[in-house]
């Protein structure tokens, strides 16, 4: 992508109304544009990151055996009357009337809708277990939308719903999601800590939040340091196996959000293992049994011929919130430092002298070779000053920067900079092209 043809409205000034660094950086780098309280347009740079996160989540859900579909954003109120949540949900639910005066709502979550899909098609235990998920926009009329996309009103969520015949089956489904979540966040370059959590309006008695530790996090959290040092289950995990030990390996350590905090248990930990911090909730999983299937009559025939309400759980990831959370975790004084897996482009190619025949030709050749090798390149072909170009590349945080200038070119070399470490190396173009061809 040529920068001269891209749409990257960066600004020098830190916006005055953005209270945390991720919100400031998302506005400064032109990733999002606020259109109303908690409502955003995803501009091209931000949209690229959102799509990369969505794809990692998709791959890890699929690996764990979940099946993707897409439900609508607008729902009929009738389904929510069946479950009893239409009145319970309160002011966070945006209620709408259509032209026929029917009550509709913009979905804050999809338990009712998916239960309706399930009861229409699934009648026998032989079709179980089943886990269906989608990534769709939600609307919650939050009292205080803030911190940019972290607490929006319209936000993108991945929500999965599991269906099992028995409670044991449902708990096994819960463990799969627990492990898949750790792998997904790890692939994004994040350490997410699973913590016992309150179930709120979703319900049930078993629930974990996945928390990224960050000073600007909205919730106070408490955990055993030993939990932070554990590696994720790994992408070679067998999701058909019993995952009890994988989960227990982690749940044996104390970790709780403020609502579930047990002062006495935490105090008993050795001092050097007590972590009392703030965190960002990037995921939340629930087991709630028959809370929706019973009132909505989602029943299946068991092996003994009896009809029983299906056992359910639901599993959410804040896909758009993750963009902010990632920036909170990955930035320095010059701007964002994207982990490779979620970066909007892999490489920033800087032409120091646009219009110079040799510089233009070298950039063109490198751009073509990197693209052919599957790398996404943002090519700065503008005639801005060198200082402005460097500052902008640092600000938007692409993992690698390649600078092509007349001085290096005289020796057949370009400068390669690692955004994270700041390390710079002179590399021969011929060598780089040969490597790209071989990759
Ligand atoms: C689980 C999936 C649920 O809604 N039903 C379907 C369950 N859980 S949740 O915890 O309420 O939300 C799941 C995740 O969505 C993100 N999130 C938000 N992101 C941005 N702005 C918001 N206002 C917002 N509210 C929730 C969080 O990451 C949460 O873990």
- DSSP codes joined into one string, 346-415: SEEEEESSTT-HHHHHHHHHHHHHHHHTT--EEEE-S---HHHHHHHHHHHT-SEEEEE-HHHHHTTEEE
Write the DSSP symbol of residue 339. Answer: -
Cα-to-centroid distance, 321 and ligand 1 (Å): 9
- The predicted pLDDT at position 79 comes to 97
Ligand 1 atom closest to the Cα of residue 150 is 20
Smallest CA separation from ligand 1 atom 18, residue: 318
Which atom in ligand 1 lies closest to the alpha carbon of residue 201?
11
**Spatial separation of the C-alpha atoms in residues 13 and 374, rounded to whole Å:** 34
What does the pLDDT profile of the chain (439 residues) look like in tens digits?
999 999 999 998 878 788 899 999 999 999 999 999 999 999 999 999 999 999 999 999 999 999 999 999 999 999 999 999 999 999 999 999 999 999 999 999 999 999 999 999 999 999 999 999 999 999 999 999 999 999 999 999 999 999 999 999 999 999 999 999 999 999 999 999 999 988 888 877 789 999 999 999 998 999 999 999 999 999 999 999 999 999 999 999 999 999 999 999 999 999 999 999 999 999 999 999 999 999 999 999 999 999 999 999 999 999 999 999 999 999 999 999 999 999 999 999 999 999 999 999 999 999 999 999 999 999 999 999 999 999 999 999 999 999 999 999 999 999 999 999 999 999 999 999 999 999 8
CA of 158 to the centre of ligand 1 (A): 9
Q: How many Cα atoms sit within 13 Å of 150 on the Cβ side?
A: 28
Residue 393 burial class via C-beta count within 10 angstroms: exposed 0-12, middle 13-18, buried 19 and up: buried
Q: What are the contacts of 367-376 at 24+ separation with CB within 8 A?
A: 369/432, 369/433, 369/436, 369/437, 370/346, 370/436, 372/436, 373/436, 373/437, 373/439, 375/346, 375/347, 376/1, 376/344, 376/345, 376/346, 376/347
- Distance (Å, rounded) from C-alpha 70 to C-alpha 12? 39
> How far away, in angstroms, is 363 Cα from ligand 1 center?
44
Collapsed DSSP state (helix, strand, coil) of residue 157? strand
What's the confidence (pLDDT) of residue 6?
A: 98
Expressed in angstroms and rounded, the spacing between residue 69 Cα and the centre of ligand 1 is 18
Between the CA of 157 and the centroid of ligand 1 the distance, in Å, is 7
Which residues surround ligand 1 with Cβ inside 6 Å?
Answer: 109, 140, 142, 151-152, 155, 157, 159, 202, 281-284, 286, 314-316, 318, 320-321
User: Backbone phi, then psi, for 391, in 5-degree steps?
Assistant: -60, -40
Cα-only R_g, the chain: 25
Q: Closest ligand 1 atom, CA of 159? A: 2
What are the structural domains, with CATH classification, of the chain?
3-336 (3.30.930.10), 345-438 (3.40.50.800)
* CA angle, 255 then 259 then 265, to 5°: 45
Query: Residue 120: what pLDDT?
Result: 98
């Amino acid at each position: 992508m040529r920068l001269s043809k891209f749409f990257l409205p960066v600004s020098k000034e830190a916006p005055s109304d953005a209270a945390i660094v991720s919100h400031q950086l998302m506005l400064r780098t032109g990733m999002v544009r606020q259109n109303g309280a908690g409502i955003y347009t995803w501009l091209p740079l931000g949209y690229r990151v959102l799509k990369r996160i969505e794809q990692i989540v998709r791959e890890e859900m699929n690996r764990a055996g979940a099946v993707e579909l897409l439900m609508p954003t607008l729902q009929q109120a009738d389904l929510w009357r069946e479950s009893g949540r239409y009145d319970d949900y309160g002011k966070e639910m945006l209620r709408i009337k259509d032209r026929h005066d029917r009550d509709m709502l913009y979905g804050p979550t999809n338990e009712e809708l998916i239960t309706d899909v399930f009861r229409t098609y699934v009648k026998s235990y032989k079709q179980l277990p089943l886990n269906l998920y989608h990534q769709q926009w939600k609307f919650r009329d939050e009292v205080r939308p803030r911190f940019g996309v972290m607490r929006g009103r319209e936000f993108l969520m991945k929500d999965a719903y599991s269906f099992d015949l028995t409670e044991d089956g449902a708990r096994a489904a819960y463990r799969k999601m627990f492990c898949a979540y750790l792998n997904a966040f790890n692939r994004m370059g994040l350490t997410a800590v699973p913590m016992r959590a309150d179930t709120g309006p979703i319900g049930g008695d078993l629930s974990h939040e996945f928390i990224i530790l960050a000073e600007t996090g909205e919730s106070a959290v408490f955990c055993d340091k030993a939990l932070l040092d554990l590696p994720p289950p790994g992408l070679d995990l067998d999701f058909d196996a019993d995952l009890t030990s994988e989960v227990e390996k982690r749940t044996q350590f104390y970790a709780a959000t403020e609502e579930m905090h047990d002062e006495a248990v935490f105090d008993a930990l050795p001092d050097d293992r007590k972590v009392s911090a703030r965190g960002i909730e990037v995921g939340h999983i629930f087991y709630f049994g028959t809370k929706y299937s019973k009132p909505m009559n989602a029943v299946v025939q068991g092996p003994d011929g009896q009809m029983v309400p299906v056992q359910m759980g639901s599993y959410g990831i804040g896909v758009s919130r993750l963009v902010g959370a990632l920036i909170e975790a990955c930035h320095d004084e010059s701007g964002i430092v994207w982990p490779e897996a979620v970066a909007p482009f892999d490489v920033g190619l800087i032409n120091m002298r646009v219009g110079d025949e040799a510089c233009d030709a070298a950039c063109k050749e490198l751009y073509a070779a990197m693209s052919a090798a599957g790398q996404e390149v943002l090519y700065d072909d503008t005639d801005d000053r060198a200082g402005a170009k460097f500052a902008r590349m640092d600000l938007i945080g692409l993992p690698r920067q390649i600078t092509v200038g007349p001085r290096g070119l005289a020796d057949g070399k370009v400068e390669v900079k690692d955004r994270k470490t700041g390390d710079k190396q002179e590399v021969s173009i011929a060598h780089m092209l040969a490597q790209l061809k071989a990759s």
